[in-house]
Amino acid sequence: MTEKLIIHGGKALRGEVEISGAKNSVLKLMAATLLTGDSIELRNVPHLSDVGVMTQVLKYLGCDVDQQDDDRLYIQAKNITSCEAPYDLVRKMRASFDVLGSLLGRFGEARVALPGGCSIGKRSVDLHVKGLIALGAEVEINHGYVEAKASRLIGAEILLDTPSVGATENIMLAATMAEGATILSNAAQEPEIVDLANFLNAMGADISGAGTNELVINGVKPGSLHGTTYSVMPDRIEAATYLMAGVGTMGDVTVNNVLPVHLSSLTHKLIEMGAEIEMPSPNSIRIHSERRLQAQNIVTQPYPGFPTDLQAPFMTLLSTADGVSIVKETIYENRFKQVGELKRMGADISVERDVAVITGVPHLSGAEVNAHDLRAGAAMVIAGVMAEGSTQVFDLHHLDRGYEDVVSKMRSLGADIERVPDTSGRPVTEESA
Ligand code: UD1
């Protein structure tokens, strides 16, 4: 049976919340474990349905995977029985496409289903494929699968048309054991790329420049990567979600286990809007505000710009800010799914192509709303705690992909929120992000 959230909003959230390991990093680290037959121990691993899907993919390939009740995950890719990731699994979660680079890099062959479009945009993989071809792989697309082969990949100079996170990762994974150096320019600079490079280096790879737009991957000998223990970086998007819920309710919230520099593009905007922000320790951020926030404009950009993954939750905050705000979405073609739901809660928003204009209303009012995708779901939870009255949020499987224990974490901050069976029989929507 599906479930829904019931939130009685309008209460200021107060307290401290522990942030989990980053979904968008752990999935890539899991794909990277395919590069060695040794055992890997990952720590700070969140319990999320996306981690479950990646576990299924790795098990399908022949890996031993064991997630503990705490934050540890053990993976060993010693007895790989297949180099094929089937459509049934890849379509559930686009990040599973990252096994392409690892399988090709270690075994010289891979057959991975094309992820297809998804609900937030067309999201092609042309840059992944071009990068692998530049490394000397023969790549064909047959029957919805990317089939790649290479007896030995050769390092190359590669310039990405756009700094794609996934393409940067797949090329890094493939180039790790290539012959010679790969120089990847216009690379993605997201913190998750740095986490992947640090992890690969801990396994014996030789990668520098992560976090800048030029990565240098010096290929190491085939078979030379080894086991390690590694702690996943904190989830900057989850942290941001609790900060926005805190300030949106005019509360006082501290997020712990974060790297504040990862959240600079958000915290700068929040300060300009009138929020008070402090760093009580190097790994925490406190936010509070007693006043209505001021309107603000944002344009989504690759890191270190304002993240597209925070666009929907941030729009919830803007919906009650004083004045007119403008949001421009530049990364995805179809990422305003929260708008219709926020309007059902009383927001005043109009959309013209990739631009949304939000005229702040004094308050949102509770309603029945859908979590249309993962981050639109976060936007609905924030809206629910901010709104007057009761809100019901449906389609929670989207939220479960990326938010560990959202109900207990929100409750620890004083939110009145519960998760109950949804007996309405509503159809479930799919997404692969
Ligand atoms: C990752 C994140 C996602 C985030 C996104 C941008 C994970 C699991 N997901 O997704 O949460 O929203 O980064 O920060 O880490 N593109 C192409 N051709 C390609 C690859 C990408 O045209 O070969 C386009 C996409 O259609 C999209 C844009 O580039 O419009 C950004 O995509 P990309 O950076 O690759 O995002 P993901 O790695 O899929």
Distance of alpha carbon 338 from the chain centroid = 17
Q: Which of 107-121, 290-304, 319-333, 382-396 has the lowest mean pLDDT?
A: 107-121
**Paired tokens of 422:** 């949804």
How far the first Cα of the chain sits from its last, in Å, is: 23
b vs e for 94-119, b when ≥16 Cβ sit within 10 Å of the residue's Cβ? bbbbbbbbbbbbbbbbbbbbbbeebb
**Paired tokens of 369:** 């709303």
Measured by CA distance, the residue closest to atom 26 of ligand 1 is: 123
* Residues paired with 365 in a beta bridge: 388
pLDDT for the residue 116:
64
pLDDT for the residue 426:
73
Residue 150: which of 137, 134, 132 has the closest Cα? 137
Instruction: With cut-offs at 50, 70 and 90, classify the pLDDT of residue 240.
Output: very high
Alpha helix (H) ranges present in 69-150? 87-90, 99-107, 126-134
Q: Hey, what CATH topology would domain 3-20+234-421 get?
A: UDP-n-acetylglucosamine1-carboxyvinyl-transferase; Chain (3.65.10)
The number of helix segments (H) and strand segments (E) in the chain equals 14, 24
What's the 335 CA to ligand 1 centre distance in angstroms? 13
What's the 191 CA to ligand 1 centre distance in angstroms? 14
Of 26, 119, 146, 162, best ligand 1 pocket probe by most atoms within 8 Å of the beta carbon: 162
Instruction: With cut-offs at 50, 70 and 90, classify the pLDDT of residue 429.
Output: low
pLDDT for the residue 124:
86
pLDDT for the residue 193:
98
Ligand 1 near 128 CB (within 6 A): yes
β-strands 157-159, 284-288 pairing:
unpaired
Ligand 1 near 168 CB (within 6 A): no
Ligand 1 near 93 CB (within 6 A): no
pLDDT tens profile 70-107: 999 999 999 999 999 999 999 999 899 999 999 999 99
Do domains 3-20+234-421 and 23-219 share one topology? The answer is yes
Query: Looking at the predicted structure, is the pLDDT value of residue 428 above 90?
Result: no
- Which atom of ligand 1 is the closest one to the Cα of 188? 34
pTM of model > 0.85 = yes
Ligand 1 near 121 CB (within 6 A): yes
Euclidean distance between CA atoms 37 and 211, whole angstroms = 28
Query: Looking at the predicted structure, is the pLDDT value of residue 433 above 90?
Result: no
Q: Hey, what CATH topology would domain 23-219 get?
A: UDP-n-acetylglucosamine1-carboxyvinyl-transferase; Chain (3.65.10)
Work out the percent of the chain whose per-residue pLDDT is above 90. Answer: 92
pLDDT for the residue 333:
86
What's the 13 CA to ligand 1 centre distance in angstroms? 33
Phi first, then psi: what are they for 85, rounded to 5°?
A: -105, 115
Q: Which residues are catalytic?
A: 118
- Which atom of ligand 1 is the closest one to the Cα of 332? 30
Q: Which of 5-19, 114-128, 134-148, 231-245 has the lowest mean pLDDT?
A: 114-128
pLDDT for the residue 15:
98
pLDDT tens profile 252-281: 999 999 999 999 999 999 999 999 999 999
Ligand 1 near 310 CB (within 6 A): no
**Paired tokens of 249:** 């309710």
Task: Give CA angle at 238 (236, 240), nearest 5°.
Answer: 70
Q: Where are the beta strands (DSSP E) in 239-344?
A: 252-256, 276-281, 284-288, 298-299, 324-328
Query: Looking at the predicted structure, is the pLDDT value of residue 334 above 90?
Result: no
pLDDT for the residue 155:
98
Ligand 1 near 124 CB (within 6 A): yes
Work out the percent of the chain whose per-residue pLDDT is above 70. Answer: 97
pLDDT tens profile 117-153: 556 556 789 999 999 999 999 999 999 999 999 999 9
Neighbours of 52 (CB within 10 A): 14
pLDDT for the residue 122:
63
**Paired tokens of 34:** 């395919």
What's the 343 CA to ligand 1 centre distance in angstroms? 28
Query: Looking at the predicted structure, is the pLDDT value of residue 432 above 50?
Result: no
Q: Where do the domains of the chain lie? A: 3-20+234-421, 23-219
pLDDT for the residue 121:
56
pLDDT for the residue 288:
97
